[in-house]
């Protein structure tokens, strides 16, 4: 049984649209190529040690607390703790880059865009957490 002409055209059109969508999504800009407007990263550069990361913890915690909007206090605490742990893990991996930037960040968006280590396409950044 053959497909009606209308059905074949619809499938062909859908394939073209899907191809264009995938091509557009595959060309995401590289991290750091956009000049951005954030002010994170300004301020004194830390010495790049664990003490600098601990000094940034209060600001990071405050930023994530301002973003926790769930009515459940336990979920808010988990949200904040998980995100602070994520930032502290990145800070421990590269304190010279992350600590001063995290301490100076004015918003979660600035913090995550400008300060944290980039996430790769393969998702292998999770491997460092399991080692």
pLDDT at 74: 81
Are 88 and 53 within 8 A, CB to CB? Answer: yes
Higher pLDDT, 38 or 8: 8
The rounded distance, in Å, linking the Cα atoms of 89 and 130 is 12
Average confidence (pLDDT) over 22-51: 47
pLDDT at 123 over 70: no
CA nearest 86: which of 113, 116, 65, 127? Answer: 116
Average confidence (pLDDT) over 68-95: 89
């Amino acid at each position: 049984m053959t497909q009606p002409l209308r059905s074949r055209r619809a499938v062909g059109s859908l394939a073209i649209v899907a191809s264009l969508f995938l091509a557009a999504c595959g060309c995401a800009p590289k991290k750091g190529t956009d000049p951005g407007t954030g002010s994170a990263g300004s301020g004194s550069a830390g010495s790049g040690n664990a003490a600098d990361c601990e000094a940034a913890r209060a600001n990071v915690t405050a930023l994530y607390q301002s973003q926790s909007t769930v009515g459940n206090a336990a979920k808010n605490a988990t949200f904040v703790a998980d995100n602070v742990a994520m930032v502290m893990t990145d800070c421990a991996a590269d304190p010279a880059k992350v600590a001063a930037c995290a301490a100076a960040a004015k918003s979660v968006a600035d913090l995550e865009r400008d300060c944290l280590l980039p996430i790769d396409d393969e998702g292998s950044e999770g491997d460092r957490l399991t080692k």
